Amino acid sequence: MQSQAQRTEPDTRHYLERELENLVQDRQIWHFLRAGSLDGIWYWDLEHPEHEWMSDEFWELLGVKPGSKPHSPLAWQDLIHPDDLKVATKNFRAHCADPEHPYDQIVRYKHANGSTVWVRCRGLAIRNAEGKPIRMLGAHNDVTSLKRAEASADAEQLHSRQTDEELRAFAYSTSHDLKSPANTIRMLLQEARLALRSGDPADAELMLDKAETTNEAMRTMVEKLLEYTRMVGKAPAHEPVDLDRLMSEVLDSIAADIRQSDAKITVDTFGMVLGTDWQLRQMLQNFVTNAIKFQPEDRCPRIDIRAVSAPPGRLGIEIADNGIGITLENQVRIFDLFTKLHRPSAYTGSGVGLAFCARVARSHGSDITVRSALGEGTVFGIHLPLLREAPSWS
Amino acid sequence: MVVTQRNSGPDQAYPIPRMAIVDDAEFDQMLYARIIGRTGLVGETLSFYTAEEALAYFEAPTAKPVDVILLDINMPGMSGFDFLDQVTSKRLMKFAGAVIVMLTTSLDPNDMARAGSYDLVKDYINKPLEEGHIGRISSVLEAVRQGAPTPL
């Protein structure tokens, strides 16, 4: 018999391990239990509390070489989270006093690599004939992956709740801002009908013209909204982007506006960033078209797109204009969806552009900063992740 | 501000002698003038395109008192609620006796509840404005003058 053969060798094992093994009798079953169902076993001599035997699995779970620590409670007391040690001690006392009170808690240990190991720790006091606890048998289960899954599920839920909230707010403001031109068109058509009935086709024509204009504005708004929607709830998938090429393409695409407004634009050299091409393109275009649009009537737009200092690993960009400027209190509001600061006859807009920019910035890990003086101009600032060399694994 | 005077009779003959409208939408203002004109219920309308403009007008000592203010909520710059806050905190006494009616596209029940929290606001109308609304406003004005209950 195998157990017979082993018994001939000198048994150097800890007395508590031997005693424990006798409790379980069959060694094979004992090892199966130890390795197969538990992530650590401890057996504590309550009459000599400095003696506590811990299984190899117990130490392996914490990244500690088995055998390198003494079989004593002192060996693990520095590794358990102090708050959790308090809970465990409290439960230990209660369980000793009353067997009905379970010794069962989830505690945090510090792994040798610094990470946290979550362990469910249960124990049973073994009592003598008088009912006095003389030993304690404990079992550990590693629940770290469960805890991690729980934390990520919580984060997921929070994110989904935020997305829901955002979607609701979005739907609300969208319905409001689309209903508004729809109302105007309805009234205009009504006026056109009345004009026709009263034999005034010229007036009817005028009303229909205005209906057409309103409809066009509504169409533009729907397009902008679609663009904005493409951003919502999407994890960024960034790629290397040549910002200089992108910048010159953006300026080409609005060349007609630039010519018409006689805008003077200077652009620094930027290099490569990590980002989403179409988002950055649309964001920069929004910034530049805003800078052209929000100008006093008699002034030629001057726009400087410059590279500025930024946190490490980031590329700072500023878009500075000499436009009408934004008051301090409005500098926050402008990034809300559908916020328009001006009546349509002064400056047209859908109220979506800067909300879109803020989203793009956020998906690239940046806020948008605003510096502005009324009548003098505005400077928008963002920073983007610089493209780094691909890491080599060799 | 654009003043539209209707000369078909002395002001006092109109159920609503003078009405101010605060709304940023240009086409809408033009349409309101036509709709209101057809009802024959309003003597004179003062059209303001921003709440700031309206506030400045009513703060001035030369401001003529109005009977009704039709007030939009969502406007660029100062909102309808900002306007109400200013009017309330500055105790613009010109408004004593004036009825404020919210005129809005807002579908938000919170907006309606908030509007109801101002003593000055007596009714809440969802756009688009129709001729029937002017009749309704005229009844509200009548009710206020007689101390009878109003929709808000």
CB-based contacts of A390, cutoff 8 Å, min separation 6: none
Strands A272-275 and A239-242, by their bridges, are: antiparallel
Cβ atoms of A321 and A267 closer than 8 Å: no
Q: How confident is the model at residue A207 (pLDDT cuts 50, 70, 90)?
A: very high
pLDDT score at B94:
62
| Chain A to chain B Cβ contacts (< 8 Å) | 57
pTM reported for the whole predicted model? 0.60
Q: Distance between CA A82 and CA A365 in Å, rounded?
A: 36
Measured CA to CA in angstroms, residue A191 lies from A209, A320, B28 at distances of 12, 45, 12
pLDDT score at A253:
85
Of B25, B34, B35, the CB nearest to A184: B25
Query: Does residue B129 sit at the A interface (CB-CB below 8 Å)?
Result: yes
Tell me which amino acid residue A124 is. L
Burial call A41-80: b when 16+ CB within 10 Å, e when fewer: bbbbbbeeeebbbbbebbbebbebeeeebebeeebbeebb
CB contact under 8 A, A180 and B25: yes
Residues of A in contact with B106 (CB under 8 A): 176
Of A183, A186, A341, the CB nearest to B76: A341
Residue whose tokens read 């404020």 = B100
Of A183, A188, A339, the CB nearest to B127: A183
> For residue range B83-115, what is the model confidence (pLDDT) as tens digits?
999 988 887 766 667 899 999 887 778 888 999
Q: Nearest CA of chain B to the CA of A182: how many Å? A: 9
Residues of B in contact with A221 (CB under 8 A): none
Question: For chain B (length 152 residues), average pLDDT per consecutive 10?
Answer: 70 84 92 94 93 90 90 87 89 74 85 90 92 95 86 79
Q: Nearest CA of chain A to the CA of B28: how many Å? A: 6
Q: Which of residues 4-63 of B touch A (CB under 8 A)?
A: 24-28, 30-31, 34-35, 49-50
Q: At what angle do helices A144-197 and B26-39 cross, to 10 degrees?
A: 50
ipTM field: 0.86
Q: Which of residues 143-182 of A touch B (CB under 8 A)?
A: 172, 175-176, 179-180
Both structure tokens of B83: 């306007």
> For residue range A33-71, what is the model confidence (pLDDT) as tens digits?
777 778 999 999 999 999 999 998 899 999 999 889 999
Q: Which of A176-180, A194-198, B130-134 is least confident?
A: A176-180
Q: Nearest CA of chain B to the CA of A342: how many Å? A: 5
Of A188, A330, A340, the CB nearest to B31: A188
pLDDT score at A393:
43
**Nearest-CA neighbor of B81 among B113, B49, B57?**
B113
Beta partners for residue A386, in sequence order? A273
Cis peptide before B128 (omega within 30 of 0): yes
Residues of B in contact with A213 (CB under 8 A): 27
Query: Does residue A32 sit at the B interface (CB-CB below 8 Å)?
Result: no
| Chain A interface, best mutation among B2, B24, B27, by max A CB count within 10 A | B27
Burial call A10-31: b when 16+ CB within 10 Å, e when fewer: eeeeeebbeebeeeeeeeeebe
Tell me which amino acid residue B134 is. I
